[in-house]
């Protein structure tokens, strides 16, 4: 089985390249500068040349705050790019793997009572910021394309590559003795190595449709920071603050937990979040 990785220089794309290389699986990989997913002609010619069995779309506009000022660019990548990939994959019989986000849900605190184990895959989507809206439009484009697809939603994504919360906390802990971290946004981290491994299993099982991938647990960002410092042996203390005390340009969901019951029924058991963090910290030391 031959893979084509699009958006290959991001944290998830680089994790895919490492996994496929390690397992000696054939693949081609293109970063955003090498393949612009918003250009239908470029997408078509690349897919025609590579002829993969599976296309993994890791390309995305992910700057949540900047999306408020650049909605056209966010929608071009997160909606139109998905549409271009889906149309080409459908016409050539290629399976398309696409990643989305917890931000497609409203994330209000009332939903925590309604979905105590997290949002299920079929929960109503109603994003509260431009990034979430652009990602939801991409999901709709995928669903309407009639392509053979896997739509995989993740939350609080962290890995050894790129920028993420774990790496930011470690960097800041070298500069400060105390950090203020939001304590009223609830969710659970997803680790890139686990995402790739479980994505491959879903592909091998011939699964289609929408799945949620995340770790086991239910924590706040502040809880996450405390555990990062504990496991990494840092002395930085955490000052727990509210969202209102840490204003951002784009609204953030108060509740981001994704239910993993659907993948568990397939025998794909999520990592406990503390275990996932330990694995990631070990990778970062190498």
- Determine the average pLDDT of the residues in 48-62: 96
Residue count of the chain: 286
- Determine the average pLDDT of the residues in 210-237: 97
> CA-CA-CA-CA torsion for 28, 33, 38, 40, nearest 10 degrees?
-50
The pLDDT, as a whole number, for residue 250 is: 95
Catalytic residue among 19, 61, 99, 131: 131
pTM: 0.96
**For residue 94, is it within any domain?**
yes
**For residue 206, is it within any domain?**
yes
**For residue 113, is it within any domain?**
yes
**For residue 221, is it within any domain?**
no
The pLDDT, as a whole number, for residue 212 is: 98
**For residue 121, is it within any domain?**
yes
- Determine the average pLDDT of the residues in 179-208: 97
**For residue 277, is it within any domain?**
no
pLDDT at residue 286 greater than cutoff 90: no
Query: Could you tell me the pLDDT band of residue 192, with boundaries at 50, 70 and 90?
Result: very high
3 catalytic residue (yes or no): no
pLDDT at residue 172 greater than cutoff 90: yes
The distance from CA 31 to its chain's CA centroid, rounded to whole angstroms, is 17
The pLDDT, as a whole number, for residue 43 is: 96
pLDDT at residue 84 greater than cutoff 90: yes
Do residues 122 and 134 lie in contact, with contact meaning Cβ atoms separated by under 8 Å?
no
Counting residues of the chain whose pLDDT is more than 90, the rounded percentage is 98
Containing domain of residue 22, as a range? 3-164+190-215+257-271
**For residue 278, is it within any domain?**
no
For 197, other C-beta atoms within 10 Å of its C-beta total 15
CATH code of the domain covering residue 116: 3.40.50.720
Total domains in the chain come to: 1
Do residues 205 and 266 lie in contact, with contact meaning Cβ atoms separated by under 8 Å?
yes
d(CA 225, CA 220): 9
- Determine the average pLDDT of the residues in 160-174: 96
The pLDDT, as a whole number, for residue 52 is: 97
DSSP conformation letters of 227-273: HHHHHHT---EEEEE-GGGS--SS---SB--B--HHHHTTT-PPPBH
**For residue 196, is it within any domain?**
yes
């Amino acid at each position: 089985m031959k893979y084509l990785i699009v958006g290959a220089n991001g944290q998830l794309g680089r994790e895919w390249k490492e996994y496929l290389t390690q397992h000696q699986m054939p693949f081609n990989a293109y970063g955003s500068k090498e393949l612009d997913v918003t250009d239908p002609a470029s997408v078509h010619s690349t897919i025609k040349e590579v002829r993969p069995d599976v296309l993994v779309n890791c390309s995305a506009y992910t700057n949540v705050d900047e999306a408020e000022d650049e909605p056209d660019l966010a929608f071009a990548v997160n909606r139109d790019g998905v549409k271009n990939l889906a149309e080409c994959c459908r016409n050539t019989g290629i399976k398309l793997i696409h990643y989305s986000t917890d931000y497609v849900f409203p994330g209000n605190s009332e939903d925590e009572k309604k979905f105590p184990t997290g949002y299920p895959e079929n929960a109503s989507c109603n994003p509260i910021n431009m990034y979430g809206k652009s990602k939801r439009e991409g999901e709709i484009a995928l669903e309407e394309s009639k392509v053979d697809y896997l739509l995989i939603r993740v939350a609080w994504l962290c890995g050894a590559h790129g920028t993420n919360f774990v790496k930011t906390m470690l960097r800041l802990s070298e500069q400060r003795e105390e950090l203020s971290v939001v304590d009223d946004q609830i969710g659970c981290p997803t680790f890139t190595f686990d995402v790739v491994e479980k994505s491959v299993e879903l592909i091998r099982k011939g699964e289609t449709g929408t799945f949620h991938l995340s770790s086991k647990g239910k924590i706040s960002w502040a809880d996450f920071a405390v555990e990062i410092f504990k496991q990494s042996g840092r002395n930085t203390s955490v000052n727990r603050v509210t969202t209102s005390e840490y204003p951002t340009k784009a609204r953030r969901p108060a509740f981001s937990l994704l239910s993993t019951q659907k993948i568990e029924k397939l025998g794909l058991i999520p990592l406990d979040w503390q275990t996932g963090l330990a694995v990631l910290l070990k990778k970062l030391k190498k």
